[in-house]
């Protein structure tokens, strides 16, 4: 049985709750706009991670659903706003909200998803003092995501981004939400203080590995499986780990070729292919792949804070999936 | 002693807390962007309203500051995003964030202010179950603001907006935040159930009067006091109460002249002046002014739910201010 089948019950429960949560508001256009991307797909990794963590601690995964849905809403709100900033026109195989409707509607729909997340979070069945902590930590995570997104955008104009800068950026932009997913799952399940802190670190490391693998896929995936052109990060000028590595290593003609394509929306398919070859040759793609695997390995070791169970094993499988997935 | 002086201690306390709250984040550009509009001025009406309400109930206005600051952050986040949607280039006498920085930064800064609001809200010194209620209600208010903003934008293309549509739009876009300000102040002060509900309705009616008066000022204020050109709502095609009234009443040549200027960014100062005269003659401005006063009057009557005190009297004065202010 593959992972998707094993997770299907949980994904279905999240999708049902998400559908109910998004059935809100009186303004038809806005109702459509907020449902558009959340209902177009998505792996529901964050809510599922929270649920399995809670199951592994106390078998109370069901209780985590409102919290998990809140995280999914937050993830989707950031997608809507990021797509405006990055001028992306497709997402999950459909038009982005600012393209299908207009930019004002996309900004607004993002804000409404964000607000709806905190409404949903407030219904989580936990002790009120735990809820207060969750609100504070989720809100801080969203603030960090904004900071990470700002770094990501600002890095696009710079050639002096260090690996440290890059790691900080993805920690904020991506890992913080995985971190609070695992931590929050442990909090709702009333884990020990140690379990909560260790699962927080597990989520952070997992998120780091996830993002590095995501960047790796942009260059190395099978285009048909990925659902978007390979190398779009190159054309968008994104400072991925591989770009940072290549910028530090490349010299001479290869560097010229590389810089010509980086951030160049008009770079041809052949030019992008050539650049990927250059990055392969200088070791950038292998370097990134290895670092993603290392993060996953380190995160898996932390799972020893959990008692033995099928749920713990499942978290191990999810960790592997994060850095072996094809899309 | 004028109202501003009477309120100065409270405004100062809010400003101090706001300054501390906005001293956050490591990304210098984003740090500047989130402080830009909040620190450029603003009347702090929402936090002050919450504080005086709490003082009137239990003298615990100070306790309301984090809640009030959260509302002020939310108000400012909506300004950042609204300015993008409305393509406004000045606000509070300074450049808007998307003009001073860029649009991506303005979207991001708005999101960060929004997140910071919920972080701040989570620190409010109330019982944890009250905090849960506050989170839910504030989040719902923000969602309603998004719906109201969507109505406002969508109305710009339509001639069939009824007074009922307009009132719904401003209830969502503006009154909901005043409503939760007064209600939340009463909740933090541990008012009776009746006091909480009646102050909620007080805030709603006050917010309605505030917005109608705001629209009235756009046409009838002294331009120097207002700090922006009179009639900008006309040029932006905003469906204010006066525009809705005029659309229902005007016929023939006056209607033609009116429609030529409505939503026309290129309308001259003279054309706008002519349109305001037409709206005066058909009774639209008087109609709106009277409705603002009526809302204020109705809201003031509700203050009888409070015990007699200087704070109660102050709420009455604030109510009068809302519909007599010159800017």
Predicted confidence (pLDDT) per residue in B95-119, tens digit: 999 999 999 999 999 999 999 999 9
In this prediction, residue B225 carries a pLDDT of 81
ipTM over 0.90? The verdict is yes
Chain B positions touching A78 (Cβ under 8 A) are 111
User: Is the per-residue pLDDT at A28 higher than 90?
Assistant: yes
On whether the pTM is more than 0.95, the answer is yes
B129 touching A, CB under 8 A? yes
The backbone torsions φ and ψ at residue A102, rounded to the nearest 5 degrees and listed phi first, read -155, 175
Cβ–Cβ < 8 Å for B272, B233: no
Res. B228: pLDDT tops 80: no
Query: Min CA distance, B198 vs chain A (Å)?
Result: 23
Question: Would you call B146 an interface residue with chain A, using a CB distance cutoff of 8 Å?
Answer: yes
Model confidence at A4, in pLDDT bands (50, 70, 90)?
A: confident
By the CB < 8 Å criterion, does B118 face chain A?
Answer: yes
Instruction: Among B104, B109, B132, select the one facing A128 at the smallest CB separation.
Output: B132
Of B30, B115, B122, Cβ closest to residue A150: B30
Q: What is the pLDDT of residue A65?
A: 98
Q: How far apart (Å, rounded) are the C-alpha atoms in residues B132 and A115?
A: 14
> Measured between CB atoms, does B176 come within 8 Å of chain A?
no
DSSP for residue B123: T
Tell me which chain A residues have a C-beta less than 8 angstroms from the C-beta of B115: 139-140, 142-143, 146
Q: Among candidates A293, A281, A298, which has minimal Cα distance to A323?
A: A293
The count of other CB atoms within 10 Å of the CB of residue A281 is 13
- Tell me if chain A has a CB within 8 Å of the CB of B128: yes
Residue A158 distance to chain B (closest CA, Å): 15
Q: Assess whether pLDDT exceeds 80 at residue A221.
A: yes
Confidence band of B233 (pLDDT split at 50, 70, 90): very high
**Minimal-distance CA residue of chain A relative to B117:** A139
Asked whether the predicted pLDDT for residue B227 surpasses 80, the reply is no
Select the residue of B107, B146, B150 nearest A85 (Cβ to Cβ): B107
pLDDT in tens, B165-205: 999 999 999 999 999 999 999 999 999 999 999 999 999 99
Segment among A116-125, A292-301, B217-226 with least mean pLDDT: B217-226
Average pLDDT value for chain B: 96
Which pLDDT band holds residue A229 (cuts at 50, 70, 90)? confident
Give per-residue pLDDT as tens, B254-308. Answer: 999 999 999 999 999 999 999 999 999 999 999 999 999 999 999 999 999 999 9
Spatial distance between the Cα atoms of A205 and A319, rounded to a whole number of angstroms: 10
Residue of A nearest to B119 (CA): A136
Q: How many CB pairs under 8 A join A and B?
A: 149
Interface contact flag, A147 B123, Cβ < 8 Å: no
Are the Cβ atoms of B25 and A107 closer than 8 angstroms? no
Strand partners, B58: none
Q: What is the mean pLDDT of residues A263-277?
A: 95
Q: Which two tokens stand for residue B94?
A: 């300074």
Q: Does B206 score more than 90 pLDDT? A: yes
Residues in chain B within 8 Å Cβ distance of A128: 127-129, 131-132
Asked whether residue B226 carries a pLDDT value surpassing 70, the answer given is yes
Helices (H), chain A: 3-21, 28-36, 45-58, 65-85, 97-100, 103-121, 128-155, 163-170, 176-188, 193-220, 223-226, 232-235, 241-249, 252-261, 269-281, 284-301, 310-322
Q: At what angle do helices B128-155 and B65-85 cross, to 10 degrees?
A: 20
Q: Does A4 touch chain B (CB under 8 A)?
A: no
- Closest-approach residue (CA) in chain A for B141: A115
Q: Nearest residue of B to residue A129 by CA position?
A: B128
Residue B221, classed as helix, strand or coil, is coil
**Is A1 a residue whose pLDDT tops 70?**
no
Query: Is some CB atom of chain A closer than 8 A to the CB atom of B27?
Result: yes
pLDDT given for residue A226 in this prediction: 79
Average pLDDT over residues A68-94: 95
Angle at B115 between CA A133 and CA A152, to 5 degrees: 115
- Min Cα–Cα distance to chain B from A24, Å: 10
Q: What's residue A14's pLDDT? A: 98
Look at B30 and A139 and tell me if their CB atoms are within 8 Å.
no
- The reply to whether A104 touches chain B by the CB within 8 Å rule is yes
A124 contact B CB<8A = no
d(C-alpha A47, C-alpha A7), whole Å: 11
Average pLDDT in chain A: 96
Residue of B nearest to A87 (CA): B104
Give B-chain residues touching A147 at CB under 8 angstroms.
25-27, 30, 112
Banded model confidence at residue B1, pLDDT cuts 50, 70, 90: low
A167 has a chain B CB within 8 A of its CB: no
Q: Residue B176 region, left (φ>0) first, then alpha (ψ -120 to 50), else beta?
A: alpha
Q: Is B125 on the interface with A (CB under 8 A)?
A: no
Cβ–Cβ below 8 Å for B25 and A147:
yes
Do the Cβ atoms of A195 and A311 come closer than 8 Å? no
User: Is B108 close to A81, i.e. CB distance below 8 A?
Assistant: yes
Please check whether residue B38 is in contact with residue B18, taking contact to mean a CB–CB distance below 8 angstroms: yes
CB-closest option in B110, B129, B147 to A25: B147
Residue B112 has its nearest CB partner, among A117, A135, A146, at: A146
The mean per-residue pLDDT over the stretch B13-23 comes to 98
Is A217's pLDDT higher than 90? yes
CB contacts, 8 Å: A133 with chain B: 122
């Amino acid at each position: 049985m593959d992972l998707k089948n094993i997770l299907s019950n949980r994904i279905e429960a999240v999708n049902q709750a998400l559908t109910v949560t998004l059935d809100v508001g009186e303004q038809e256009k806005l109702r459509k706009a907020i449902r558009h991307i959340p209902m177009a797909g998505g792996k529901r990794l964050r809510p599922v991670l929270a649920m399995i963590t809670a199951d592994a601690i106390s078998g109370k995964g069901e209780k985590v659903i409102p919290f998990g849905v809140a995280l999914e809403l937050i993830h989707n709100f950031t997608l809507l706003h990021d797509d405006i900033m990055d001028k992306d026109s497709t997402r999950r195989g459909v038009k982005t909200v600012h393209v299908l409707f207009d930019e004002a509607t996309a900004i607004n729909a993002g804000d409404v998803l964000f607000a709806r997340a905190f409404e949903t979070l407030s219904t989580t069945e936990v002790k009120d003092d735990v809820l207060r902590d969750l609100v504070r930590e989720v809100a801080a995570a969203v603030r960090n995501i904004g900071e990470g997104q700002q770094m990501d955008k600002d890095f696009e104009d710079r050639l002096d981004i260090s690996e440290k800068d890059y790691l900080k950026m993805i920690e904020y932009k991506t890992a913080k939400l995985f971190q609070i997913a695992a931590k929050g799952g442990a909090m709702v399940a009333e884990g020990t203080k140690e379990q909560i802190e260790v699962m927080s670190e597990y989520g952070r490391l997992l998120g780091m590995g996830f993002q590095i693998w995501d960047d790796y896929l942009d260059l190395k995936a099978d285009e048909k499986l990925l659902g978007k052109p390979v190398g779009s990060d190159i054309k968008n000028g994104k400072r991925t780990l591989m770009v940072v590595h290549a910028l530090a290593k490349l010299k001479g003609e290869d560097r010229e070729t590389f810089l010509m394509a980086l951030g160049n929306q008009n770079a041809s398919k052949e030019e992008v292919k050539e650049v990927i070859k250059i990055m392969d040759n200088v070791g950038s793609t292998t370097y990134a792949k290895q670092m993603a695997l290392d993060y996953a390995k380190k995160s898996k070791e932390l799972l020893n804070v959990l008692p033995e169970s099928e749920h713990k094993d499942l978290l191990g499988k999810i960790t592997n999936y994060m850095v072996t997935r094809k899309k």
